[in-house]
Amino acid sequence: MPARSDLRASPPAPGFSDARVGDFLRDGARAVDAELDRLLPTPAQEDGGIPAAMRYTALAPGKRIRPLLTLAVADLYGVPRSESLPAACAIEMVHACSLILDDLPCMDNADLRRGLPANHQVKGEATAILAAFALLNRAYGLLAGAAAEVEEPAQSEVGRCLSRALGTEGVIGGQALDLAADSPRADLDRLERIHSRKTGSLFIASVEVGAILGRSPLSERGALVAFAKNLGLAYQILDDWLDAKGSPRTLGKPSGKDGRGNFVTLVGAEGAKGLADELVACALDHLRPLGTRGVLVAGLAFEISRRSR
């Protein structure tokens, strides 16, 4: 994570919002939804309700930002969608897993997710926890080639990448620190580290998985990782901002919930929004080595900077 002093003050360039980006976002999200539907287990008799609980959250209308990042990067290197879509869906399954767990009474105790009652509210806590594990398990199975046509060396690298992102130095560690934060006025550096782990780590993995599948040159992979680090932090800061500014109706989840450790509490709503814009600009800067080839990845970042839910 670059120091905040490295950030440039300019906002993201609006030129990225062209028609190609719009088509990619719409068609990509549709392709992810259809593939998720295909790859998730189908409810059957005497299955204990787990497949239905997995589908309940994973197929609910999320924004599909992380799998779109994987697809955008994989597309950059011409990876066939038959390889990139299952990997992108694995990332989305892991994300859905984290959302189910995050909403539990022992964590954020949230009752609404993606516009629907939270998983545990409908399915019960035990089923929700098992469904979260089942999504995680399915994700690793996919990456190990259960359904993907991915070659052996790339499979192992992708698995290692995801494991690193989710581990104690990544999403799990960040979530633990977030839950342990006892003061909404934790200092800025600590909050940045928590956000970078709990949210930034999966953004990095989303991009890296696409780069690994595409056998990208190491220098470009480094640039993409730096891009995702900044974008992931920006995304969580915007989430804090929306938590303060949005309503459950527009967000599809409760608002005013993220008071434990929060950029808005620390630097105010305008300050948080400004910081997120700077981080997006910094993320876009890292894409320079890709030139015009990076237009879809950049367009996605620009869309994220304008997120309203």
Task: Report the interface residues with ligand IPE, using CB under 6 A.
Answer: 62-63, 65, 95, 98-99, 102, 108, 110, 114, 171, 175, 198-199, 236, 239, 253, 258
DSSP labels, 1-20 = ---GGG---PPPPGGG--HH
Instruction: State in angstroms the smallest separation of the CB of 170 from ligand IPE.
Output: 10
Contact 100, 128 (CB under 8 A): yes
Instruction: State in angstroms the smallest separation of the CB of 136 from ligand IPE.
Output: 13
Instruction: State in angstroms the smallest separation of the CB of 188 from ligand IPE.
Output: 17
Residue 258 lies near Mg ion (rule: CB under 5 A): yes
From the list ligand IPE, Mg ion, none, partner contacted by residue 253 (C-beta under 5 to 8 A by kind) = ligand IPE
Cβ closer to ligand IPE: 4 or 260? 260
From the list Mg ion, ligand IPE, none, partner contacted by residue 99 (C-beta under 5 to 8 A by kind) = ligand IPE
Residue 102 lies near Mg ion (rule: CB under 5 A): yes
Q: Counting beta carbons within 10 angstroms of the beta carbon of residue 15, is it exposed (0 to 12), middle (13 to 18) or buried (19 or more)?
A: exposed
Cβ closer to ligand IPE: 58 or 223? 58
Run of H or E including 176? helix 171-180
Cβ closer to ligand IPE: 110 or 264? 110
Residue span 104-123 as binding mask against Mg ion, x where in contact by CB under 5 A, dash where not: ----x---------------
Query: CA dihedral defined by 214, 68, 178, 280, rounded to 10 degrees?
Result: 90
Run of H or E including 144? none
Q: Which residue has the tokens 């680090």?
A: 229
Instruction: State in angstroms the smallest separation of the CB of 245 from ligand IPE.
Output: 13
Q: Which residue has the tokens 């434990």?
A: 260
Separation in Å, CA 9 to CA 160, 225, 231, 275: 35, 21, 15, 9
Interface with Mg ion (CB under 5 A), residue from 92, 208, 220, 239:
239
Separation in Å, CA 73 to CA 183, 203, 216, 290: 38, 12, 9, 11
Cβ closer to ligand IPE: 147 or 251? 251
Question: Is 190 strand, coil or helix?
Answer: helix
From the list Mg ion, ligand IPE, none, partner contacted by residue 303 (C-beta under 5 to 8 A by kind) = none
Cβ closer to Mg ion: 35 or 258? 258
Q: Which residues bind Mg ion (CB under 5 A)?
A: 102, 108, 239, 243, 258
